Amino acid sequence: MSAALACAACGRRFPVGSPLVQCPCSGLLEVVQKPRRGAGALRAAFDRRRVSDRVGQGSGVWRFRELLLPGGGPIVTHPEGDTALYRRAALARFAGVEDLAVKHEGENPTGSFKDRGMTVAVTHAVRSGARAVACASTGNTSASMAAYAAQAGLPALVFVPAGKVAAGKLAQALAYGARTLLVRGDFDACLRLAREAAHAFGITLLNSVNPWRIEGQKTIVLEMLQQRGWDPPDWIVVPAGNLGNTAAFGKALREARDLGLIRRVPRLASIQAAGAAPFYRSFRVGFRRRFRVAADTVATAIRIGDPASYDRAVASIRETDGVVAAVTDREILEAKAAVDAAGIGCEPASAAAVAGARQLRRRGLIRRGQSVVAVLTGHLLKDPQTVMDFHLGRRRGANAPIEIAPTLAAVARVLKG
Ligand code: F0G
């Protein structure tokens, strides 16, 4: 297998065993590789491993190992992936999209899609001799990194915006033993600081600027395609914050097409929260300008004003004839209530995907009869406070709990009401 790390900005190449996660020119690095096997053999291997896989131990990431991390060696896996693709009539009705499926990445071991990138990036970090790992995070990346670092026996350093991380996520970082810094600043400030600290103290940075994270996250798309018998949907809709997933999805689709795993490339729709929509603003001007904003949204996971994987994400949207849209916090909360009420459940940022599908259908971009897969990125229990605020408020659809005396009469009164 011929493989290398290539800089998208200056074109320099590095061996895949290199501990670099960013080019010295500060450009984004990308893994380039070409598996020796053709589409038929790869598909057969992926399908066989779906049933039994000794090397990947049942991981929905390592099943696709020819397309991830070249070379042999130990892997740090929980395992992860193998998440469900749900179809629910009520949700399809809500979105107005008859052929809607949601892929629930909240079913990963730490409750978000981040585990897919983390298993690959931590494996690479171990193989390339990392002494410690660090990340900035709106919560999920830190929860995932903390878990995988604990498994690998690596010290972990986390930078999160003070007061802006959902309770479930902060609890995880602490529980898994990461040294956790509550930074008085937003996510963008955290990422700047994490980059500086990683450079200054020789710590391996595990944000999605790390190209191995992107490799792992490609498997959300690969696994979804496999679940559909390699028949691509018309659209893939994904929430967008730091743009790691948008970057990874474009790369996955490009490679799947070039390898012959699929013939047709779905259109990618990246959905931002209206209060944190710099990528949407750029899309609106044909990507002629890059915007940076002061971000604010109820979906704290995507409260990001200066996304790091911007360049890669622009390529993904261009190559897939994709679109970028923005949804309001209200639309996000309504979509979340619909996902929750369907018995699936997700965190607020994830619901942006369903809100986005609904908006794109209403705008006629998603046409009647087209098939759509929306990616739910995180588990409902990540952010219990937002759930309680919604249901204890007086909104439409609120399901407030009822306190009663411990008597049958009190139960009867409730049932009658
Ligand atoms: N959904 C959830 C639940 C997330 O946690 C994130 C990002 C996104 C969507 C956006 O994905 O960054 O690839 O565009 N969370 C990061 C974190 C920033 O630190 O956990 P993206």
- Answer for the pair 268, 259: CB distance below 8 angstroms, yes or no: no
> How many Å lie between the centroid of ligand 1 and the Cα of residue 235?
20
Please determine, for residue 375, whether its predicted confidence score (pLDDT) is greater than 50.
Answer: yes
pLDDT tens figures, 16-73: 999 999 999 999 999 999 888 999 999 999 999 999 888 888 899 999 999 999 888 9
Model pLDDT, residue 397: 82
Q: Model confidence at 89, in pLDDT bands (50, 70, 90)? A: very high
User: Which atom of ligand 1 is the closest one to the Cα of 135?
Assistant: 19
CA distance 211 to 192: 18
Please determine, for residue 2, whether its predicted confidence score (pLDDT) is greater than 90.
Answer: no
By most ligand atoms within 8 Å of CB, the mutation choice from 135, 302, 314, 347 for ligand 1 is 302
CA distance 284 to 55: 45
> How many Å lie between the centroid of ligand 1 and the Cα of residue 377?
8
Q: Residue range 314-339: average pLDDT? A: 97
Model pLDDT, residue 179: 98
Cis? peptide before 79, omega within 30° of 0: yes
Reference 373, options 263, 242, 243, 223; nearest CA is 223
Among protein residues, the one whose CA lies closest to atom 12 of ligand 1: 242
Please determine, for residue 228, whether its predicted confidence score (pLDDT) is greater than 60.
Answer: yes
CA distance 272 to 299: 10
The set of residues, in sequence order, having a beta carbon less than 8 Å from that of 401 and lying 6+ positions away, is: 391
Model pLDDT, residue 71: 86
β-bridge pairing 85-86 and 99-104: antiparallel
Model pLDDT, residue 70: 87
> How many Å lie between the centroid of ligand 1 and the Cα of residue 336?
16
Whole-Å CA distances, 162 to 176, 300, 383: 19, 12, 16
The set of residues, in sequence order, having a beta carbon less than 8 Å from that of 319 and lying 6+ positions away, is: 250, 253, 254, 265
Q: Model confidence at 94, in pLDDT bands (50, 70, 90)? A: very high
- Answer for the pair 262, 46: CB distance below 8 angstroms, yes or no: no
Compute the C-alpha angle 371/372/374, nearest 5°.
165
CA distance 212 to 251: 12
b/e 46-60 (16+ beta carbons within 10 angstroms → b): beebeeebeebebbb
> How many Å lie between the centroid of ligand 1 and the Cα of residue 133?
18
The type of residue at 269 is: A
Q: Which residues pair with 371 in a beta bridge?
A: 99
Model pLDDT, residue 217: 98
CA distance 242 to 264: 27
Place of tokens 């942006």: 352
User: Which atom of ligand 1 is the closest one to the Cα of 247?
Assistant: 13
Model pLDDT, residue 395: 82
CA distance 395 to 404: 22
Q: Residue range 347-363: average pLDDT? A: 98
DSSP code per residue over 32-45: EEE-SS-HHHHHHH
User: Which atom of ligand 1 is the closest one to the Cα of 349?
Assistant: 1
The type of residue at 154 is: L
- Answer for the pair 163, 134: CB distance below 8 angstroms, yes or no: no
CA distance 229 to 239: 24
> How many Å lie between the centroid of ligand 1 and the Cα of residue 138?
7
Whole-Å CA distances, 131 to 76, 77, 127, 150, 197: 15, 19, 11, 13, 14
> How many Å lie between the centroid of ligand 1 and the Cα of residue 395?
27
- Cα dihedral: 181, 187, 193, 198 (round 10): 80
User: Which atom of ligand 1 is the closest one to the Cα of 136?
Assistant: 19
Average pLDDT value for the chain: 96
Q: Residue range 330-358: average pLDDT? A: 97
By most ligand atoms within 8 Å of CB, the mutation choice from 242, 309, 375 for ligand 1 is 242
The set of residues, in sequence order, having a beta carbon less than 8 Å from that of 12 and lying 6+ positions away, is: 6, 23, 24, 25
CA distance 232 to 222: 10
CA distance 130 to 121: 11
The CATH architecture one would assign to domain 85-111+234-392 is: 3-Layer(aba) Sandwich (3.40)
- Answer for the pair 356, 91: CB distance below 8 angstroms, yes or no: no
DSSP code per residue over 96-156: T-SEEEEEEGGGSTTSBTHHHHHHHHHHHHHHTT-S-EEEE-SSHHHHHHHHHHHHHT--E
Model pLDDT, residue 396: 82
Q: Model confidence at 417, in pLDDT bands (50, 70, 90)? A: confident
b/e 80-113 (16+ beta carbons within 10 angstroms → b): bbbbeebebeebbebbebebbbbbbbbbbbbbbb
CA distance 91 to 326: 20
> How many Å lie between the centroid of ligand 1 and the Cα of residue 376?
11
Domain residue limits, the chain: 85-111+234-392
Q: Residue range 271-280: average pLDDT? A: 98
Residues in contact with ligand 1 by the CB-under-6-Å rule are 112, 114, 137-141, 208, 239-246, 301-302, 347, 349-350, 377-378
Q: In what order do the strands lie in the sheet with 179-183?
A: 179-183, 156-161, 133-136, 204-205
Model pLDDT, residue 1: 44
Q: Model confidence at 194, in pLDDT bands (50, 70, 90)? A: very high
Q: Which residues pair with 5 in a beta bridge?
A: 14, 31
Q: Residue range 185-214: average pLDDT? A: 97
> How many Å lie between the centroid of ligand 1 and the Cα of residue 116?
13
Q: Model confidence at 394, in pLDDT bands (50, 70, 90)? A: confident
